[in-house]
Amino acid sequence: MAAGDLPDELAGLLPRIQRLARRRLWSGPPPPRLRGAHAELLRLVAAEPGIRVSAAAHDLCLAANSVSTLVNHLVTQGLLRRESDPGDGRAALLYPTPAGVARLREWRSRRDALFREHVAKLDAADRAALTAALPSLRRLADSLREGEEPP
């Protein structure tokens, strides 16, 4: 592959991997299924209980109104709890519910098993190449985020 093809290959391949993984994960348990964006928001809130919607939007690289819609879905499903920020009544703080933590644990387990299964099918050289690429992919993500305004 020519060096000039790398950006195009990455831009096409990474979303494709995500879509394929989501499709496989959706073939699992009965509804209500945890969609990718819902799972990522729930993962973030579980890691940072009390996070504001605006901070979650920034971390997930989504518009605040998109995150608000996701929050509403997760609250309706009983997976997330929203509270007014005592320091600013206009802002909402997010907390996972016990049901949300359990659903996230199940989703992570299925996702991890899916990737373990398919990575194991690769030869050792491919697995080593993927491992070696992870720091570069993290730096690429950081570079893409440069210049963004925090909430």
d(CA 44, CA 75): 15
Q: What is the pLDDT along the chain (151 residues), one digit of tens a residue?
A: 565 688 888 888 888 998 888 888 777 666 566 778 898 999 999 999 999 999 999 999 899 899 999 999 999 999 999 999 888 878 889 999 999 999 989 888 888 999 999 999 999 999 999 999 999 999 998 898 887 665 5
d(CA 131, CA 141): 16
- Whether 138 contacts 53, CB under 8 Å: no
What domains are there in the chain, each with its CATH number? 32-145 (1.10.10.10)
pLDDT value of position 89: 79
pLDDT value of position 28: 65
pTM (2 d.p.): 0.77
pLDDT value of position 85: 86
d(CA 19, CA 138): 20
SS3 of the chain: helix, strand, coil, percent, to 5 = 70, 10, 20
pLDDT value of position 131: 95
- Whether 71 contacts 41, CB under 8 Å: yes
pLDDT value of position 146: 81
Residue whose structure tokens are 């060096």: 3
- Other beta carbons within 10 angstroms of residue 9's beta carbon come to 11
21 CA to centre of own chain: 12
